[in-house]
Structures are given as structure tokens and as C-alpha cells.
Amino acid sequence: MRYVYVKDGEIASEHRVLPNSFANISNFDTLDNNSLKQFGWYPYRFVSATVSGSYVIDGSYYEITDDEVIEYQTTRQLTEEEQQNIIDNAWITIRFTRNNKLNECDWTQLSDSPLTTEEKEEWKVYRQALRDITKYDSPYDVVWPEQPQTVQLAPQTEVSPLGPSVDGSNG
């Protein structure tokens, strides 16, 4: 359990574990709560604020009762600028993800791609849907398109069972 030291009706130390000795009393941490209160040490309780939507935790305040010290978190509404920064950062993350997804499937549109014409068209539609992601009104409304089921073929190189030759060729 944590305790708070109160002196002259004010909090003199933040919540902490009781000291082993205090005011020339050894084994101070073994005293019962009533004895501890006589020396200004009160049990500490924390009450967390519930935050949702456009609110943020901005601090706390203490209430000193007869039996304990309670810390309550306080909240405030985000400013419009803070809300816009959150939205802007969400768009940055979405664009980063979108660009990675586009980069991963660039190979599908190359002229020497092993895909059929129909498969290339599926990938072309998918890639356009990725580009259209930024047309959503909100980053929280984005629905990612489903990637075509074509399996990417790894580049194939023929290697002689003997390994590469001295000149770097496979034969």
C-alpha cells in the first residue's frame, strides 16, 4: 500500500511506500493506520479519469479525508488544433501504410510480370483503390481494399549443382 505524508493540512510528500523509520521511530512501517495518521501519514488512493473522444488527461488534484488521501485525475477537452494534429497524424500513418502496400505490388504491373492479363487487371484495380484511400473524409472511415489472391512468384535463377563458376556464371 502507498501512503502520503500530510503536514499542516497540505501534502508534504507524494505517494510512496512508508519509510522504515520516521520521527525517530524505528519500524515505522509496521504501525497501524490510526497510529500512522497521528504522524501525518495517510493511505493513498488513486482515481483514474475516464477519457474518450476529444478529452485528454491534464493533471490531478488531491482530497484529504479523515481516513485517506485520494488523487483524482482531471481532464480537459482537446483544442481544435490538437484534434487536427491527431487527424493529420492518422493520415500520415495511412499514407505510409498505403505507400508500402503499393511498393509491395509494383512488380504486378511490369511488362515482364508472370501474371496473366486478368490478374494484372485485378492488381491494377487494387492499386487504384489504394490510391483512392485519401479520398475518404476521415482517416477513421478508411476501409482497406482486399488484395488479389495472386501469389507473388519469387525471382528464379538457375544455379548449376556445382555452384557458380569462377567467372560468376552458372555453368
**Max intra-chain CA distance, the chain:** 92
**What is the value of pTM for the model shown?**
0.58
Q: Is the distance from CB of 72 to CB of 59 less than 8 angstroms?
A: no
Helices 80-104 and 117-131, axial angle in degrees (round to 10)? 170
pLDDT more than 70, % of the chain: 88
Q: What is the pLDDT of residues 71-117, one digit of tens each?
A: 999 999 999 999 999 999 999 999 999 999 999 999 999 999 999 99
Average pLDDT of the residues in 135-141? 95
The C-alpha angle with vertex 10 and arms to 47 and 35, in degrees rounded to 5, equals: 85
pLDDT tens, residue by residue, 16-29? 999 999 999 999 99
